[in-house]
Amino acid sequence: MSGYLGDSVNVAVLGSGVAGASTAYALARRGARVSIIDEPRTGQATAAGAGIIAPWTSAVDGPFYELYAAGAGHYPRLVDELADRDIAIGYRRSGALVVADDDTTLDEVSARASARADAAPEMGEIARVSAEETSAMFPPLRRDLAGIFVSGGARVDGRLLRAGLLQAAIESGAEVRHGLARIARDGAGVAVDLGDDIERYDAVVVAAGAWSNAVLADLGFDLPLAPQRGQIVHLSLPGATTTHWPSVLPVASHYLVCFDGSRVVAGATRETGSGFDPRVTAAGQREVIDNALSIAPGLADATVLETRVGLRPVSADGVPYLGRLGDLPVWVNVGFGAAGLTMGPYVGDQLAIGVLGGAMSPLMSTASPSRIN
């Protein structure tokens, strides 16, 4: 493989969730010849994800946070690029509202976000808001919850994002193929085994989410990666116009995020040890709805529209695996956990630069798969 940016390097991207679609688009728009190869699987995380883009109040720190914040910072450019192609991804900056019933917690959140503000101008304004103000912003909330409002908080529709990135990749010359693919050794390089055919590529990107180890099995790699089930309930609130309501983030793992019309999405379970089991369960439904009603009792009369289930790919240390596997022309883009819709487009763009021989952001090195060797 030679050159950078514009050379017709032949690349296979295995997986078409946000990680694969982002990488394929970034490669194709730089001139690579891209084949996106995927087998539709029930439980793909991107199809279920809620899509809150607001990493700055999170308690996570270190390499994970740096990638998280970079992902949020990448979105305005991506939205503009796709808008030039008349592609919409359901992205809206409607703000993020962290709520709590005690001042100490809100003080900590405000201090953390403020300390990160200079490095993340896309965060926008940070404001302390009273319980009365939070209720005006998100009427179903409990009346005793004050908050921290971050104006740059956004949301994106995971299904529209995936579809938009795939459309943009195809418009840039990529092709999409369906089938079960595995990587096979081919002398000093690799090929993609499609069962009835073996095809050779200059590089292969594995972005198959929780199923990535199955793709890598014949190469002898076994990433410390496991599926984690997430159940997310979609509600309709009769008579409400929720388009501009902010995302609500209690200081916990659950959340509320709104989309156009009267849709409110409540999530999510984090079921470590679930295996590849994409069922909606009674306990999962109860957990999500109980958590939602505990902070927003005004949702009690909402209609339950559907429950989506995603099997998140979770790495052993919580940091994704991003980069080249040893000396083989095989790259991995996997392990985002619950942060895939935030990080995915940025990481896909950077990984494409690396595949084509360029210098990726130093942030990518902290997530290199070499740390597991």
Residue 1 is predicted with a pLDDT of 41
Identify the DSSP state of 139: T
Distance CA 180, CA 196 (A): 10
Strand bridging mode 175-178 / 33-38: parallel
* Distance, CA of 135 to CA of 95 (rounded, Å): 14
Distance of alpha carbon 88 from the chain centroid: 17
pLDDT value for 7: 62
- Cα gap 171→29, rounded to integer Å: 9
Q: Which parts of 182-294 are beta strand (E)?
A: 182-186, 189-193, 198-200, 203-206, 225-236, 247-250, 255-258, 263-267, 271-272
Q: How far is CA 262 from CA 213, 241, 242, 247, 330, in A?
A: 39, 5, 5, 14, 44
Residues 51/159, Cβ–Cβ less than 8 Å = no
Residue at token pair 């200059």 = 202
What's the pLDDT score for residue 3?
44
Residue 242, pLDDT score: 96
Q: How far is CA 357 from CA 5, 110, 199, 329, in A?
A: 8, 41, 22, 11
SS3 assignment, position 3: coil
Q: Are 210 and 336 in contact (CB under 8 A)?
A: no
pLDDT in the model for residue 96? 97
Residue 214 falls in which region: left (phi positive, over 0), alpha (psi -120 to 50) or beta: alpha
Given a contact cutoff of 8 angstroms between Cβ atoms, the answer to whether 12 and 205 are in contact is yes
> What pLDDT score was predicted for residue 373?
60
Full-model pTM? 0.95
- CA distances for 103 relative to 4, 99, 114, 144, angstroms: 52, 10, 16, 12
The closest alpha carbon to 343, from 125, 210, 156, 81, belongs to 156
| Sheet of strand 321-324: strand arrangement | 175-178, 33-38, 10-14, 203-206, 330-334, 321-324
**Chain Cα centroid distance, residue 351:** 15
**Domains defined for the chain, CATH in brackets:** 10-47+159-225+317-372 (3.50.50.60), 93-154+226-314 (3.30.9.10)
Per residue of the chain (373 residues), give pLDDT as tens.
444 545 679 999 999 999 999 999 999 999 999 999 998 888 999 888 889 999 999 999 998 999 999 999 999 999 999 999 999 999 999 999 999 999 999 999 999 999 999 999 999 999 999 999 999 999 999 999 999 999 999 999 999 999 999 999 999 999 999 888 889 888 777 899 887 788 999 999 999 999 999 999 989 899 999 999 999 999 999 899 999 999 999 878 899 999 998 999 999 999 999 999 999 999 999 999 999 999 999 999 999 999 999 999 999 999 999 999 988 999 999 999 999 999 999 999 999 999 999 999 999 998 989 777 6
